[in-house]
Amino acid sequence: MPQFNTLWVYFLMVLNPVVTNTITEDIDVLVFLPQNNSYLFSHARVAPAILYAQTRLQKDVQFSGFHFNIHFENSDCANDAMLLLVERSCGQMPDLILGPVCEYEAAALVRLASHWNIPVISAGALALAFGNKLGEYSHLTRIAPSYVKMAETFTAMFEHFTWRSALLVYEDDKQERNCYFTLEGVYHHMTDFNIQIYPFSPEDRLDPEDILHHIYDTEGTDTEEDIY
Ligand SMILES: *[C@@H]1O[C@H](CO)[C@@H](O)[C@H](O)[C@H]1NC(C)=O
């Protein structure tokens, strides 16, 4: 049905203004990546992918009207991102923010960005609290599976093997707290199971005997109070 197809394409072109290439728009993108290369998501590792995406979008006829102006800023997994956003926004607010990844840094930045209606796309911010889309994190889109997804996987494993209880052993550095946030998702999602926690600080050597004592002491008791 060649006639039908031609009509259909014409119809789509009328409906979809992007195809007709009449839209031109500058989009300011602010990207937060750490210069410190000890992070997996450092500037040296991630920036090439973002610049590649920018080039590809420029070549794509469908998006050639959009000009993504990319501006990189350092992030330090603390307050840098939020403070830099405030400083920059005194001039002109960005249209889109990519990053930051670290939980605390993302939290401060996303609250501000959501208040100012700036969308944020992050490969991090995986903690439980970011799942609330109605409040202060409304403008956050996460592109990696969150810790709650990991908890769902654990739940499926526990059900499959009919496991009932677990001891969550994690290092709490009291700074970025990645291990804490990882297991927080599990702890809160698996309330139907007997889940105990055993945090230890990076300065302490992990003591297997103490862990065993902890297990013996709590075995057979599964009231809430025993967990703390
Ligand atoms: C880079 O990050 C690591 C891990 O957080 C830290 O130990 C190190 O001191 C940092 N390096 C610099 C130059 O800030």
Query: What are the domain boundaries of the chain?
Result: 2-142, 147-219
64 band by pLDDT with thresholds 50, 70 and 90: confident
- Side by side, the strands of the sheet bearing 140-142 are 66-74, 25-33, 96-98, 120-122, 140-142
The CATH architecture to which 147-219 belongs is 3-Layer(aba) Sandwich (3.40)
Q: Which residue's C-alpha comes closest to atom 3 of ligand 1?
A: 38
One-letter amino acid for residue 75 of the chain: S
Query: What is the C-alpha separation between 35 and 121, in angstroms, rounded?
Result: 19
21 band by pLDDT with thresholds 50, 70 and 90: low
pLDDT at 226 over 50: no
Q: Which of 33, 35, 37, 38 to mutate to test the pocket of ligand 1 (most atoms within 8 A of CB)?
A: 38
Please give the model's pTM, rounded to 2 decimal places: 0.81
One-letter amino acid for residue 173 of the chain: D
CB of residue 3 inside a 6 A radius of ligand 1: no
Which tens digits make up the pLDDT trace of 67-95? 999 999 999 998 889 999 998 888 899 99
Examine domains 2-142 and 147-219 and report if their fold is the same: yes
Question: What is the structure's pLDDT at 220?
Answer: 56
CB 83 within 8 A of CB 105: no
> Which region holds residue 123: left if phi is over 0, alpha if psi is between -120 and 50, else beta?
alpha
Q: What distances in angstroms separate CA 165 from CA 50, 155, 158, one per listed residue? A: 43, 11, 9
Q: Which residue's C-alpha comes closest to atom 6 of ligand 1?
A: 38
Centroid of ligand 1 to alpha carbon of 76 (angstroms): 9
The CATH architecture to which 2-142 belongs is 3-Layer(aba) Sandwich (3.40)
